[in-house]
């Protein structure tokens, strides 16, 4: 089970390549899905956090990559 848990509305950040991305959790995905061309795997034990990173753009990082702001 993923050790970190976040809720809708939490402000989070994570490292994305050489950059640090920031945003707000807008959904907790417990089933696999797609954001644009990116397909992610998720389950209740290992959710993905759908994060709005700016003006309609979204990402789906894993809990272990996120830290709360």
Q: What is the pLDDT of residues 15-46, one digit of tens each?
A: 988 999 999 999 999 999 999 999 999 999 99
pLDDT score of 12:
98
Residue 68 predicted with pLDDT over 60: yes
| CB-neighbour burial class of residue 51 (10 A; exposed 0-12, middle 13-18, buried 19+) | buried
* CA distances for 5 relative to 9, 45, 60, 62, angstroms: 12, 10, 14, 10
């Amino acid at each position: 089970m993923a050790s970190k848990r976040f809720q809708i509305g939490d402000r989070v950040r994570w490292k994305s390549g050489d950059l640090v991305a920031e945003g707000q959790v807008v959904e907790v995905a417990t089933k696999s899905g797609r954001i644009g061309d990116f397909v992610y795997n998720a389950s209740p034990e290992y959710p993905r956090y759908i994060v709005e990173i700016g003006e309609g753009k979204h990402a789906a990082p894993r809990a272990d990559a996120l830290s709360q702001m």
